[in-house]
Amino acid sequence: MIGPEEIPVPGVLGLDHTADVGLEIFASDLPELFRRAALGAMWLVLERLPSTEGESHLQDQETDTRVVELAVEELDALFRSWLRTVLYWEDADGFVVVDAELMLLHTALSEAKDGQGFGLTGHAMGRVDQGPRVREIKGVTLHGLEVGPKEEGWWGRVIFDV
Amino acid sequence: MELVRLDAHRWLIPRQGKMRVDGLIFADDNLMRDIRGDEAIKQVANVAQLPGIVGRSIGMPDIHWGYGFAIGGVAAFDPDRGGVVSPGGVGYDINCGVRLLRSSIRSRDLRHRLPKIMDRLFETIPAGVGKGYKKFVLKPEDIRSILNRGAAWAVENGFGYPTDLEHIEDQGTIPGSDPDQVSDRAIQRGRDQVGTVGSGNHFVEVGEVEEVYDEVAAARLGLEKGIVTVFIHSGSRGLGYQVCDDYLDVMLRAATRYGIDLPDKQLVCAPLDSPEAGRYLGAMRAAANFAFANRQMMGHRVREAFESVLGAEASELGMGLVYDVAHNIAKFERHKVEGRETTLCVHRKGATRAFPPGHPELGPAYKDIGQPVFIPGDMGRYSYVLLGTEGAYTETFGSTCHGAGRRMSRRQAKKQARTRNLRDEFEELGVQVRASSFSTVAEEIPEAYKDVAEVVDVVHRAGIGKKVARLKPLGVLKG
C-alpha cells in the first residue's frame, strides 16, 4: 500500500486499496463536502478535469443542470446515495458533474423509524462528455464509509468497487 | 488475529471474539506473506461472525482485501440455522466468470494471422469503461427474456450453438430469476452492454496450450499441447453492478430490522427466509443470467472473428466451448455438515465451483471427470485449467480459487508502469495487446498479481483442485 495521493480536486485525496479505489474528502461544511466528493468521483472515472480538459469532446456542449432531491435516514447513507446518483448519471448518460449547489436538511421521512432523516436538495451542473474514461466504478461500497465532523470542518471517506 | 498453521497449505483462524465458526485459509508460506500484507485475514474472520454460517469461513490462496468479504472467499449459510444471504458476499459483478473456447488450430499456424485476429476482436467486441454495443441496444422484452433465460436466449437468437449450453455451469440459465426485482436503473445500464467486455481485469485472451499435466483429462476437454484457445473473462456489466448497489440499501435496512450485528457494514445481509433475501436472490439470478448471455454473445463474436480472418467455419476450426464458470455468485446446494446432508446457500466471491466427478449437478459432458475450472493468471504469464475434486467437495463446499489475486494496488501498479513502454514489453513476451486505454493495461501489469502458478500449486497439493493444463497468452483484448 502507498499513502493518500493528491488529486486535482481541492480537499480530496485518493486512497489506496488492493483491488479498489477510495477518496478522503475534507471541507468546511457538508454541502461542500458532498460537492467535492462528486468532483473527486468524476476525477477517478476520467483522470482529467472535464471543465478544463478534453475540450474536443465538449464542443457545442452547454452546461446542463439536474435537480437533486434525496432523502434517507442516515448521513453516511445520504452521502452514498448522492455519489450513486452522480455515478449513475455518468454511466448511463455520460453526464459528468462539474459543479453542484447543494443544501442539506434534516427532514421528516415517513419510512424512517423515528420519522427523521437527512435530505439533500439543489442542482448539479455538468455536461455530456463522450471523451475517454480510464476507470469503471462498479459501485459505492459501504466498506469504511464515513462522514463526520473533523476539527473545524467535515470529513468523509468512501471506497468504490472498480 | 491469531493464525495457526495446520500443514503446508492450510492456516486456521481459531474461533475468537464474535466468530461463530473457525476461519481457514489455503496458502503456502510465500502466499501467506502477501495475504498478511492487507486486511484479508480480518475479513475472513468478520464473515465468520455472520448468522447461520456453517463449516468454516474460507479463504482461497488468491485471497486479497475486498470490501466486506475478501475477494477469494467462500462461506456457506444454513437457512435452518438463521443463515443469511449477503450481496457483498457475491460482489458487484454478479456472475463474473470465465469461458474457455478451444480450437483445432496449431498456434504455430496462427502466428502471422494473430494480429489480424486481434484487430478483428477489437473491432467487434466492445471493450472499455462503460462501453456498450451501439449496434445492439436491447428492447425491454429482450432484456426480460435474457434475465430469465441467460445463454439460452442468446443461442435461440443465433449467437452460438445449442451444444454450447451443455458446457456452461447451470446450462447457462439459473432458475428462479425474478426480473421484476431488477431496478429500472439496472436495466438502463445493461441495455447496450450484452456482448461487451468492460474494463478493469476483464479481457478476451487468445492463447495456446503450453503444458498438459493430465493427458486423459485434457483430451476429454479437447485440449492438447500447442492448440489455440480463447479465454473470455467478464460478468453482468452495469446491470449486475446496479443490482448489487440497489440491494445494499435494502439489506442495510434488513440487517437493522432483523437485529444482525455487523462487523463491517458491507456485510449487510438478511435471513434467507426473509422477503428481502427472496427479492435479492431473484434479482441476483436475473443478473447472473445476463452475464451468461454476455459471455455467450462474446463467444459467438470470437468465432466470427476467427472465421472472417481464417476463411473457415468455426466448426471446421474446431472452436468448441470447453466450459463456462461463475466465480461471483450465491447458490443453494446440497452439502454435508456435521455428517448430515443439507441445503446451504454457498457464497463464492472470487471463488470457483469445483464439483467432483459424479456430482448430480454436473451435466453429462463432464459428469465422469468432474467440473472444469479455469484460473486466469496475468496478461504476461500463464493461466490454468483444473478439474473439481472430492477434496473440494468435502472441505470447501465444492469450491476452489479463481485467479492470481492482486498483490499490488492499482495505483501502485500504475506508478510502477509510468515510465515503461508496456506495448513493447508485451511484444517481447510474445503477447499482442489491444486496449481501449493503456491506463487499464498499466493497472494490470503482470507484477501487480501473485504468480498464479503458486496459487494453483496450493489448491492442487491441498486437493481442492486438480491441474490439467497450462495456457500461455498470445493476444489480449483489454478494456
Please answer yes or no on whether A45 and B71 come within 8 Å at the CB atom. no
Residue A118 has pLDDT above 60, yes or no: yes
pLDDT in the model for residue B38: 85
Instruction: Collapse the DSSP code of A31 into the 3-class scheme (helix H, G, I; strand E, B; otherwise coil) and give the result.
Output: helix
Distance from the A58 Cα atom to the nearest Cα atom in chain B, whole angstroms:
18
Most confident of A150-154, B274-278, B407-411: B274-278
Q: What is the 3-state secondary structure (H, E, C) of A5-27?
A: EECCCCCEEEEECCCCEEEEEEE
Residue B37 has pLDDT above 90, yes or no: no
Instruction: Collapse the DSSP code of A93 into the 3-class scheme (helix H, G, I; strand E, B; otherwise coil) and give the result.
Output: helix
Chain A environment of B444 (Cβ under 8 Å): none
Cell reading at B215: 493427458
Please answer yes or no on whether A91 and B479 come within 8 Å at the CB atom. no
Chain A environment of B37 (Cβ under 8 Å): 1
Question: Closest partner residue to A19 among B66, B198, B268, by Cβ?
Answer: B66
Please answer yes or no on whether B188 and A92 come within 8 Å at the CB atom. yes
Instruction: Collapse the DSSP code of A56 into the 3-class scheme (helix H, G, I; strand E, B; otherwise coil) and give the result.
Output: helix
The chain A residue lying nearest B191, using CA atoms, is A92
Please answer yes or no on whether B238 and A91 come within 8 Å at the CB atom. yes
Please answer yes or no on whether A2 and B412 come within 8 Å at the CB atom. yes
Distance from the A2 Cα atom to the nearest Cα atom in chain B, whole angstroms:
7
Best mutation target, B63, B67, B257, to test chain A (most A CBs within 10 A): B67
Q: What is the 3-state secondary structure (H, E, C) of chain B?
A: CCCEEEECCEEEECCCCCCCCCEEEECCHHHHHHHCCCCHHHHHHHHCCCCCEEEEEEEEEEEEEEECEEEEEEEEECHHHCCEECHHHCCCCCCCEEEEEEEEEEHHHHHHHHHHHHHHHHHHCCCCCCCCCCCCCCCHHHHHHHHHHCHHHHHHCCCCCHHHHHHCHHHHCCCCCCHHHCCHHHHHHHCCCCCCCCCCCCEEEEEEEEEECCHHHHHHCCCCCCEEEEEEEECCHHHHHHHHHHHHHHHHHHHHHCCCCCCCHHHCCEECCCHHHHHHHHHHHHHHHHHHHHHHHHHHHHHHHHHHHHCCCCCCCCCCEEEEEECEEEEEEEEEECCEEEEEEEEEECCEECCCCCCCCCCCCCCCCCCEEEECCCCCCCEEEEECCHHHHHHCCCEECCCCCECCCHHHHHHHHCCCCHHHHHHHCCCEEEECCHHHHHHCCHHHECCHHHHHHHHHHHCCCEEEEEEEEEEEEEC
Please answer yes or no on whether A162 and B200 come within 8 Å at the CB atom. yes
Residue B419 CB coordination number (10 Å): 6
Residue B4 has pLDDT above 80, yes or no: yes
β-pair type (B466-478, B432-435): parallel
A14 touching B (Cβ < 8 Å): yes
Please answer yes or no on whether A47 and B411 come within 8 Å at the CB atom. no
pLDDT in the model for residue A131: 85
Give the pLDDT band (50/70/90) at residue A157: very high
Q: What is the mean pLDDT of residues B176-197?
A: 95
Query: B251-267, pLDDT tens digit by residue?
Result: 999 999 999 999 999 99
pLDDT in the model for residue A50: 67
Instruction: Collapse the DSSP code of A101 into the 3-class scheme (helix H, G, I; strand E, B; otherwise coil) and give the result.
Output: strand
| Residue B339 · residue B386 · CB < 8 Å | no
Question: Closest partner residue to B409 among A1, A81, A113, by Cβ?
Answer: A1
Give the DSSP H/E element, type plus range, for residue A78: helix A75-93
Please answer yes or no on whether A138 and B412 come within 8 Å at the CB atom. no
Cβ-count burial of A63 within 10 angstroms (0-12 exposed, 13-18 middle, 19+ buried)?
A: exposed
Cα–Cα distance for residue pair A18/B408, rounded to 1 Å:
6
The chain B residue lying nearest A85, using CA atoms, is B185
Cα–Cα distance for residue pair B398/B223, rounded to 1 Å:
24
Question: Closest partner residue to A21 among B241, B410, B415, by Cβ?
Answer: B410
The chain A residue lying nearest B435, using CA atoms, is A134
The pTM of the full predicted model, rounded to 2 decimals, is: 0.94
- For residue B309, the number of C-alpha atoms closer than 13 Å in the C-beta half-sphere is 21
β-pair type (A146-150, B203-212): unpaired
| Residue B359 · residue B367 · CB < 8 Å | yes
Distance from the A157 Cα atom to the nearest Cα atom in chain B, whole angstroms:
13
Chain B environment of A90 (Cβ under 8 Å): 130
Of residues A106 and B29, the one with the higher pLDDT is: B29
Q: A with B: how many residue pairs have Cβ under 8 Å apart?
A: 117
**Closest C-alpha among B375, B376, B405 to residue B388:** B375
Chain A environment of B408 (Cβ under 8 Å): 18
A57 touching B (Cβ < 8 Å): no
Percent of chain B with pLDDT over 70: 99
Please answer yes or no on whether A136 and B188 come within 8 Å at the CB atom. no
Residue A54 has pLDDT above 50, yes or no: no
What secondary structure letter does DSSP report for A133?
-
Buried b / exposed e over A121-156, threshold 16 CB at 10 Å, is ebebebbebeeebbbbbbbbbbbbbebeeeeeebbb
Chain A environment of B436 (Cβ under 8 Å): 132
Best mutation target, A15, A76, A130, A138, to test chain B (most B CBs within 10 A): A138
Residue B104 has pLDDT above 60, yes or no: yes
Please answer yes or no on whether A18 and B68 come within 8 Å at the CB atom. no
pLDDT in the model for residue A111: 57
Query: B438-463, pLDDT tens digit by residue?
Result: 888 898 899 999 999 999 999 999 99
CB neighbour list of residue B32: distance below 8 Å, 6 or more residues apart:
B11, B25
Q: What is the mean pLDDT of residues A56-65?
A: 66
CA B161 centroid distance within chain: 23
Please answer yes or no on whether B65 and A16 come within 8 Å at the CB atom. no
Of residues B12 and A72, the one with the higher pLDDT is: B12
Cα–Cα distance for residue pair A3/A24, rounded to 1 Å:
12
pLDDT in the model for residue A52: 47
Instruction: Collapse the DSSP code of A139 into the 3-class scheme (helix H, G, I; strand E, B; otherwise coil) and give the result.
Output: strand
CB neighbour list of residue B419: distance below 8 Å, 6 or more residues apart:
none
Known catalytic membership, residue B402: yes
Q: What is the mean pLDDT of residues A60-89?
A: 91
Residue B133 CB coordination number (10 Å): 18
Chain A environment of B415 (Cβ under 8 Å): 2
